[in-house]
Amino acid sequence: MNLYDGHRVEDHASFLFDDVLPAVVGYADSQGVPTGVAAFAVFLTMAGIMAIDGVGRDEIIRAINEMRFPADKPQETLQ
């Protein structure tokens, strides 16, 4: 996924999985709320920042629709 020329989300995977995700999970645990609630709050905040920066709603929705996670990949069948 590339919304900004020369920059890809995949290039920041270690930051996202090593820093951001544990921070969101830790915050949710400390507040006693589901991780999804904290993650959604972060998502809305980041989407707002991107919108202020000129990224349109259609682009944000397209990015969500095109995003792929490791769990989306087909599992190899054991034989």
Tokens of 67: 């995003």
> Any idea where the domains of the chain sit in the sequence?
34-69
For residue 64, name the pLDDT band (cuts at 50, 70, 90).
confident
Tokens of 36: 């999804």
Asked if pLDDT for residue 75 goes beyond 70, the answer is no
DSSP 74: P
Q: Are the beta carbons of 37 and 28 closer than 8 angstroms?
A: yes
pLDDT value of position 79: 46
In which residue are the tokens 């000129």 written?
Answer: 54
Asked if pLDDT for residue 38 goes beyond 90, the answer is yes
pLDDT value of position 5: 67
